[in-house]
Amino acid sequence: MSGSTLELTKDNFNEVVDQNDFVLIDFWAGWCGPCRQFAPVYEAAAEENTDLVFAKVDTEAQPELAAAFDVRSIPTLAIIRDRTVIFAQPGALPAPALNEVIKQARAVDMDEVRRQVEDQQQ
């Protein structure tokens, strides 16, 4: 699976997120020009970060997933670590910006994130 992107559907979504502690998701659609421009950038990042799971969600085929992430414009990039969304932002990122987002996401202290989530839930 390394160096390629995984097609996420409502059927495999939970399994992929539960089994992998770091998942990037590109929400896209075939008719979206910026999505097509972002695709090779995303693929290249997948090849450079083979320890992470790079997934794609076709918002036309998977409207429930797009709705679950409140995706209003595409492309939208989301990053999930330990089943927690730590990043979600619309827009096609250039390669240096995507690499920086990945670097920052790797550096996130998930213990701190979990504490913040618990605080919000109380």
pLDDT recorded at residue 1: 36
Strand ranges in 3-118 using DSSP code E only, listed in sequence order: 5-7, 22-28, 53-58, 76-81, 84-90
Residue-wise pLDDT for 72-107, tens only, equals: 999 999 999 999 999 999 999 999 999 999 999 999
Gap between the Cα atoms of 35 and 116, Å rounded = 32
Gap between the Cα atoms of 113 and 122, Å rounded = 15
Give the contacts of 49 (CB within 8 A, at least 6 positions apart).
102
3-state SS class at 33: helix
Residues with catalytic roles: 32, 35
Q: For the whole model, what pTM was predicted?
A: 0.92
* CATH number, domain 5-121: 3.40.30.10
Calculate the CA 51 to chain-centre distance. 14
pLDDT score of 2 more than 50: no
Reported confidence tier of residue 29, pLDDT bands at 50, 70, 90? very high
CB 55 within 8 A of CB 23: yes
